[in-house]
Amino acid sequence: MKTSAGFPKAARLLKTDEFSSVFSLRPWRRSLHFVLYMRQREAPGPDGDRARLGVVVGRRHAPHAVTRNLIKRAARDLFRLRQSGLAGWDLVLRLQRRFEPTEFRAASSAALKTACRAELASLFEAAAARAARGTAPAEAGGPPSKSSTPPTRPD
């Protein structure tokens, strides 16, 4: 079966409730500038078991539209290359920290592109490894408990 490296609508998180269901979990992985949330879907969607990506890049952390578009374009590109290894997962990538203007002078400099792609590549590699193991990240309520029975009080 031939897999496409495109980024069709079926590979995107579009609705607020789709984003909310992933954001309700704890952040799975952090880098210097980004946070990655992952959620394994229980049932395949209408387009099968395809991985889906949502990208959140706010004006607060990337004031220039050029920078926001650069980050989203890099995230979509790296996701396209790894989406076959992430089948059945929803991912949300959020920019959490501003790229320092003193370090990255231009909004679309080569240094910014390189730094952004390096961080995103490491996040998506880790996500693909997690998806290959098939383990879901812990829920937002805290780490998973070791037993299903509640702890007892000593007498």
Q: What is the pTM assigned to this prediction?
A: 0.76
- pLDDT by residue (tens digit) across 120-146? 999 999 999 998 887 655 544 444 433
Amino acid identity at 22: V
- Residue 30: strand, helix, or coil: strand
Return d(Cα 102, Cα 136) in angstroms, integer: 39
- pLDDT by residue (tens digit) across 21-58? 887 778 889 999 999 999 888 776 666 688 899 999 99
